[in-house]
Structure 1
């Protein structure tokens, strides 16, 4: 990595961005942030001490007097309260004798009270805790009390060996560089990563001089080094909290909620945000998409697995409607996943009875809703098209005698203007789903329930069944009942409920019907509506389309390469 390019951009952002400087923290504030993020108890004195010995670089040093520290670069003054402004370019010093007791006599000074740190510096504090923590087993005292001294001695020797190595200074220098790379890229990614703004399309030219400088720096650092930084951040996040699926879910939350997260989970979110800042700025610099953060930690993804799980290969850029599939899989999506359009009150009553308790289903009666009556033309297709744009399945139940509707519906299916399924009852819901005897049987039962003092059905039922072969449509059924003095049988929600009760009890056509053994389409529709809660819309649209003749979904033909 070419450090000088990073140093130049660091100086540029410090001098050029008031907002970026406002993000910086005092030693006390950085110590408090570390505690809130589960990194242990650091004090302001600890922070200034780590800065003094070079393990923790500052992002801005302010003083009324000139400072003669090797590695501090004086900049033009940007603060009326301080005459001298410095950028901290120091490198940790290799100490063959180790770093033990180096802060024994350290105390705060006026100079150290002028230090300012970017919040990302907690990443360095994470490595302080991880590599220098002295701890023993919770059970050591109970198992062997005298062994405590031996364990402490071993840990002390390990710390001595680690801090005296050349690698110790090099690693802390590298961890500070990761922080600084993420911090300068945050200047152009903050609104996307931390405020949920829409990301800029990949490959968009640099908007200003700073972006030009930043892109040049990233190109100089190179893909390999940048990917290594991101990988290290992702592994650190995973080591703090292994619930990767929770990480994805939390990163889809609104930024106000993410900012409230505390403990090691909150720290994982910050490290992943650092990795995202580097990724998004690098994608612009190199004009190419890079793996997202959950792809670069431990483990590997098989091809297309992310699309199958999340509904999109790019999770954090995907439209919210696409991610509903992921929310539904976790049981967290309580929105509409399927709209079912029915032609009349009978169908509405039948399906309300069967699926009305499921929150993911919305039933729309085309005859009963004034706004939907206009659906006989373009408005109906526009409703279906709006469903598709929102990631909602459309299921349509129509009578076969509604030729205008059918022509429009099949044309919309051919044009792929909606996605889901349609069912055609020929000629209507009654005769398309039930035998004539079943319709008579249900009609008699409904008449007796609603007209207990009516005519004696025991005498007339035989005559009704004798003329069953005359029933070819619901109109024939009504005419037959009227002929025998039953005039109140009409298409209604209660009539639909009665028919659905029969269909639920006997899902297939009976023996006297030539469709014997086939499942009734009204039952098939109800089962599909329920099952659609667990079907991923985006995956379905990528693999299937509606056949405009049958109304069923069929596999998409493979595209020519």
Structure 2
């Protein structure tokens, strides 16, 4: 990578963006940030010492007196006339004997008040902690005390070998470049990453001025190096904390809450923000989508997996409604996931008893008005479409005698205007789910439950059961009951609840019914409503569609077929 391109961008950021300069940290503040993010314990003096050695470059140096360090470039037009401003382009000096005791006398030139570091420079302190710290196991002293000296001696030799190598200086130079690339891109990405602003489309070209300088710098760096920087940051984040699903969740949080994170989890968020800053600026510069941060760390994604897991291939740009599948998988989606439309009070009472207590289910009582006059059928279809746009399943339970109602519903399913399921109770919820003897039993039980004075209805029950074959629909049941003095059988929520109580106790049709052994549709509907809490809407819509005849979901055929 040509140094001049990055150097020009760094100078321009310092000169043009006062808000960016205000975010720079003193050595003490940088040390505190590293501690807060679980990246190591450093003092302000140690941070300054690392700067003097060249392991840590500053983003801005402002002093009352000239500073003579090779690689500091004087900046004009910034600060007071009596001040000396510099940009830091130094390279670490190669020391064949290593860097042992290199900070022994660095306090003779205090510079803490002159140095300013971007928060992304904690990435260098992380590598100091990772590559130069000497330690033993927590129980080494208890296990074998003399072993501590041998471990220390081996560590000393390893550190001499590491710090005396050419690679030592090259790696710290590269790590500084990563921090610099991310911080230079930050004016373009800060509002999106740290303040929750909507990102501009990738196809939005970079403008003239600083954005042109940034684009030139990114082009000079090259896609391969930029990809490697993002990957290294993602691996560093994973090394700090391996809970990648939690990382995604936290990055979807409100930025104010994310800023409060401490410890290694906070450090992980910091490194991922650096990678995102590079990635978003590169996407604009090259006008192409790059892998997001959870794609470039350890592991590998197969094609389509992110959409199946998250609901969208672009997690951090996706509308929040598309991410409900992911939140559901974590058990964190408490919003409505399924809206169940029922034709009347009986259906409402039945399903409210079975599934109404679940927060992800909303029941809508249409009261038989769906296919009536004044465009109510159209309004119903619009409601189904609104569900689909919001990522909400639509489940409809209707009677089979509503021909116009069914026609509208099937047409909407054929045109893929909603996603979910519909159930047709033929001819109605009563006879479509229960045998005539069962309905007679429930009618008598409900009458006895509500009667003021208990009565022996044995003969009434026998007489009604003898006429069970005449019950073909709910109207027949009501007429039969009324003829035998059972006057409280009517469409109502309490009636629906009574039906569902029997269905829950006996989920399949009885042996004396032609449908014996098959599950009752109302039980199937209730179980589906409950199960939909764990079904991802966008995963489902990607592989299934509603069959307009049966109301069931069927698998989509692969394109090749």
TM-score range (shorter-chain normalised) is: over 0.9
Going from structure 1 to structure 2, the CA distance change for 1:494 and 1:356 (only over 3 Å counts) comes to same
Deviation string, structure 1 residues 338-393 (Cα, Å, up to 9, x no partner): 111111111111111111222211111112999x9988332212221121111111
1:385 aligns with 2:408: no
Deviation string, structure 1 residues 39-75 (Cα, Å, up to 9, x no partner): 2221111111111111110000112333333211112
In the alignment, the residues of structure 1 paired with residue 423 and residue 545 of structure 2 have an alpha-carbon distance, to the nearest angstrom, of 15
Deviates more, 1:482-491 or 1:227-236: 482-491
The match for 1:395 is 395
Q: TM-score scaled to structure 2, two decimals?
A: 0.96
In the alignment, the residues of structure 1 paired with residue 17 and residue 296 of structure 2 have an alpha-carbon distance, to the nearest angstrom, of 31
Deviation string, structure 1 residues 461-497 (Cα, Å, up to 9, x no partner): 2221222222222111111111222222111111111
In the alignment, the residues of structure 1 paired with residue 400 and residue 368 of structure 2 have an alpha-carbon distance, to the nearest angstrom, of 19
The match for 2:269 is 269
Write the mapping of 1:315-334 to structure 2, written as runs, cut at 5 A: 315-334=315-334
1:64 aligns with 2:64: yes
In the alignment, the residues of structure 1 paired with residue 466 and residue 375 of structure 2 have an alpha-carbon distance, to the nearest angstrom, of 40
The match for 1:293 is 293
In the alignment, the residues of structure 1 paired with residue 186 and residue 511 of structure 2 have an alpha-carbon distance, to the nearest angstrom, of 72
Q: SS state of the match for residue 203, structure 1?
A: coil
The match for 1:469 is 469
The match for 2:523 is 523
Counterpart contact for 1:195–1:255, Cα < 8 Å? yes
In the alignment, the residues of structure 1 paired with residue 374 and residue 318 of structure 2 have an alpha-carbon distance, to the nearest angstrom, of 33
The match for 2:503 is 503
Deviation string, structure 1 residues 210-239 (Cα, Å, up to 9, x no partner): 122212211111111011111111111111
In the alignment, the residues of structure 1 paired with residue 3 and residue 128 of structure 2 have an alpha-carbon distance, to the nearest angstrom, of 22
Counterpart contact for 1:366–1:373, Cα < 8 Å? no
In the alignment, the residues of structure 2 paired with residue 249 and residue 108 of structure 1 have an alpha-carbon distance, to the nearest angstrom, of 47
The match for 1:99 is 99
Q: SS state of the match for residue 491, structure 1?
A: coil
Counterpart contact for 1:203–1:285, Cα < 8 Å? no
In the alignment, the residues of structure 1 paired with residue 483 and residue 80 of structure 2 have an alpha-carbon distance, to the nearest angstrom, of 100
The match for 1:493 is 493
Deviates more, 1:122-131 or 1:154-163: 154-163
Counterpart contact for 2:444–2:486, Cα < 8 Å? no
The match for 1:5 is 5
Going from structure 1 to structure 2, the CA distance change for 1:445 and 1:339 (only over 3 Å counts) comes to same
Going from structure 1 to structure 2, the CA distance change for 1:526 and 1:121 (only over 3 Å counts) comes to same
Tell me the C-alpha RMSD between the 2 structures.
2.1
Q: CA deviation at 1:409?
A: 1.6
Deviates more, 1:354-363 or 1:100-109: 100-109
Counterpart contact for 2:295–2:301, Cα < 8 Å? yes
Counterpart contact for 1:77–1:83, Cα < 8 Å? no
Counterpart contact for 1:376–1:404, Cα < 8 Å? no
In the alignment, the residues of structure 1 paired with residue 63 and residue 77 of structure 2 have an alpha-carbon distance, to the nearest angstrom, of 10
- Unpaired segments ≥5 residues, structure 1: none
In the alignment, the residues of structure 2 paired with residue 451 and residue 207 of structure 1 have an alpha-carbon distance, to the nearest angstrom, of 81
In the alignment, the residues of structure 2 paired with residue 374 and residue 471 of structure 1 have an alpha-carbon distance, to the nearest angstrom, of 34
Q: SS state of the match for residue 113, structure 2?
A: helix
Counterpart contact for 2:348–2:365, Cα < 8 Å? yes
Q: CA deviation at 1:313?
A: 2.1
Going from structure 1 to structure 2, the CA distance change for 1:369 and 1:146 (only over 3 Å counts) comes to farther
Deviates more, 1:511-520 or 1:193-202: 511-520
Q: CA deviation at 1:307?
A: 2.3
Write the mapping of 1:54-453 to structure 2, written as runs, cut at 5 A: 54-80=54-80, 83-107=83-107, 109=109, 111-367=111-367, 376-453=376-453
Deviation string, structure 1 residues 256-287 (Cα, Å, up to 9, x no partner): 11111111111011001111111111111122
In the alignment, the residues of structure 2 paired with residue 144 and residue 306 of structure 1 have an alpha-carbon distance, to the nearest angstrom, of 49
- Unpaired segments ≥5 residues, structure 2: none
Q: SS state of the match for residue 107, structure 1?
A: helix
In the alignment, the residues of structure 2 paired with residue 456 and residue 239 of structure 1 have an alpha-carbon distance, to the nearest angstrom, of 76
Q: CA deviation at 1:319?
A: 2.0
Q: SS state of the match for residue 510, structure 1?
A: coil
In the alignment, the residues of structure 2 paired with residue 373 and residue 360 of structure 1 have an alpha-carbon distance, to the nearest angstrom, of 32
Going from structure 1 to structure 2, the CA distance change for 1:375 and 1:57 (only over 3 Å counts) comes to farther
Counterpart contact for 2:44–2:112, Cα < 8 Å? no
Counterpart contact for 1:343–1:399, Cα < 8 Å? yes
Q: CA deviation at 1:82?
A: 5.7
Q: CA deviation at 1:455?
A: 6.2
Counterpart contact for 2:202–2:287, Cα < 8 Å? yes
In the alignment, the residues of structure 2 paired with residue 81 and residue 107 of structure 1 have an alpha-carbon distance, to the nearest angstrom, of 28
Counterpart contact for 2:369–2:376, Cα < 8 Å? no
In the alignment, the residues of structure 2 paired with residue 375 and residue 474 of structure 1 have an alpha-carbon distance, to the nearest angstrom, of 28
Counterpart contact for 1:62–1:84, Cα < 8 Å? yes
Going from structure 1 to structure 2, the CA distance change for 1:200 and 1:108 (only over 3 Å counts) comes to farther
Going from structure 1 to structure 2, the CA distance change for 1:173 and 1:82 (only over 3 Å counts) comes to farther
Q: TM-score scaled to structure 1, two decimals?
A: 0.96
